[in-house]
Structure 1
Amino acid sequence: MRAEILAVGTELLLGQIVNTNAQYLSQGLAELGIDVYYQTVVGDNEARLRQAIQIARSRADLLVFTGGLGPTLDDLTRDALAADLGRGIGLHEPSLRKIEEMFAGRSAELIESNRRQAMLIDGALPLRNDTGLAVGNALSADGKHYLLLPGPPREMKPMFDNDGSDWLRKLLGESAALRSVMLKFAGIGESALEELLMDLIRGQTDPTIAPYAKEGEVCIRVSTKASSEEEAARRLEPTLQAIRARTERYLYAEEDIPLEAAVIRLLTRRRQTVTLAESCTGGMIAASLTTVPGSADAFLGGVVSYSNEVKHKQLGVPLTLLEGPNAPGAVSSETAAAMAEGMRRAADSDFALSVTGVAGPAGSEGKPVGLVYVGLSEKGKGVKVEKLQLSGDREGIRIRATKRALYLLWLTLTGQGEFVKE
């Protein structure tokens, strides 16, 4: 089954709202074994919407709509599709009663436009809305299938996950679903990783190998279509083994989790702790770690030591390193080492990471933008420092420094090698 997603709303075209629904639906449809070939965004204009429907119907078996089911006159999705199919629209009484009860409970007046949210295309299956008012529609006509979902993500997601997916599974019967394993990598760029796996990527048939990249991390989705988890595992395993053998130093997870989650998981299992001494990252490493549930068991805290005064007073970095004509300066291997050691001793943690550098937009201490030093102090083993020369804008440098610091801690925790020394 081939699908097209049609997101309806002028606000999407104006960039006032990001179309996160399309991403969510693409992932969900792929898991059901439905191939999404096109995504269309169309404004609140009935003529253009009907044109988009006709184009989508010419190239897809399933049309999935989001948006345009609300109470206002510019909520046109249901009306446009009904007109295109030559069908009428009627009230779905259970949905109307739900709306009436909600307004009565709030002691609010039910105006006529709110009744529009209970409208159903003739012959459509109603899809319950557990988090809102607009009823969804699912129908088939002339060999094509139509799924109408509300626009707000908090309404769309549960409707798709429940009634919408159930309806699609019945359409699909016993067809094979797409099953995937997400491999997550750090410490290597997309191009370098692709080079390691080039022969596997070029020779792929089933399973397929699809690389993706974002700041500081790369992921690969390995996918196959299979009718059961057992069959999928059998098909996927030879490819997964081949990738593991070449990428062990960079492969930090075989599930879709961020690097910080993998680090917290390792520290927790080992019953060890980490602290942070951040300068140019400005607390970004701490922020990433504290997004992980349960991070309090492993992350004790840290210091954002942006100024030399804080580096000296809070972390014990000697002024002889920070100031003076012959001092290495705040952005140096020596200062990174002293920051990490000072933080670990002060908190009595098992590990302490430090980051000091020049994020830009201008250089500092006569040193170039992107020069960053990462230090790691480990209890009983001393301190190690890595020198980085990162590219990009200020935010990109901070993100890459954050990911690199976490990767170096992950390398140490997994015993996968020493730092690249300066």
Structure 2
Amino acid sequence: PTRGRLRENLFNLLVYLQTHPVRLAKNAVSSTDRQALVACLLPPVLPALSPEAELDFLLHLGRRTELLTVAHGRLRPNRNPVRGWLQAGTAAQMWMLQNAWRADPTWNDLWHVPELQPQNTGWENSPLRARAAILDFLERLNAPPNSWLAIDGFLNTIKQANPDFQRPNGDYQSWYIKNAAGEMLMGFEHWDAVEGGLIRYLIGVILPLLDVVELGKSDSGAVPDLFQITAAGQQFLARTPPDAAESQSAVRLRVDDKFQVRVPAQASLYDRFQLARFAEFDQRTDRQAVYRITRASLNRALKNGVTAEQILAFLTRVTNNQIPLRVVERLRAWGGRFSSAKIEQATLLRLKNQQMVDELQRHPAVGPLLGEVVGPTTIILPAKTAHRVRQLLREMGYLE
């Protein structure tokens, strides 16, 4: 159930951050914005991963890969890296994310294990050292394709072969780590809780998200206790990049006369990202995502500088020119009416004669502040300049 989850959720965050302002305070997202971002994610499927923890990993990975950036205090997609990632094939997209995590010293896996509470007392661990050791053990398993392995068996293999895989000099006394009950976990007797907890976190959370392993159950209803290495995982562990010639075949979108746009699951993320600029997400199934073009979603795109003709050109391309005539006509009509009228507050300046109108229009201080002349002796004063014009007219003797 986790295959493709990371890619889909990261895409959802990119879309939301493209269309909604999310500002950072002290490099952190507000609780209100966090709730909105969590709502963008697919329903949770991993027992050991809360939606909030998944969001933290996604935001960290997004910034680490430079898909997300901070500009003027706002968290938003980084245009060129995002375009390149969206246009890449699925395997290349995942390869980028997998290797960003593999080489990232700033995401400390041990400090994200849900059952552990590391204490910041000055001791340090190396996430790269532990990560590399566990991945090396996985690669050396040489498991046949589609074979299921016991998670407990994998833990025992590491415990017997290299129990100190993350502890320089086998030091089990200087790391201050508590369990959820607040009990200190110092000494080798707590290996299963600390080292075992880290291994379970990688096997049960991080690696399934990265499509390196899949989880399974030996008993119906039990928590996952089995795993198998995916084909993509075998490539990742062997450091074999995907075929550079991989390309996404053209997958057509379908638009109906109710303004629904159906996007097959195999469609390009780049096309979906462009669609999301002027359409609202409606629903998702395993086979497709459904968007709906509404007046509000179209106005949002028009306000951001996208034209109705650009939208129609995009839909023509992704549907192979299969757009209902009703949709074409309505989009053009909506686009033509956008911003063709506006309502604003203003003040009317009435003068005694045309000569006074001409004098004020020529005045170097007053003239630039005046609005449109709407009658022989009437001028509109914009709301933002009315107060200043009133002051000047008093100084010039036009007003009492």
The TM-score, its normalising length taken from structure 2, stands at 0.24
Rg larger for: 2
Higher relative contact order (CA 8 A, sep 6+): 2
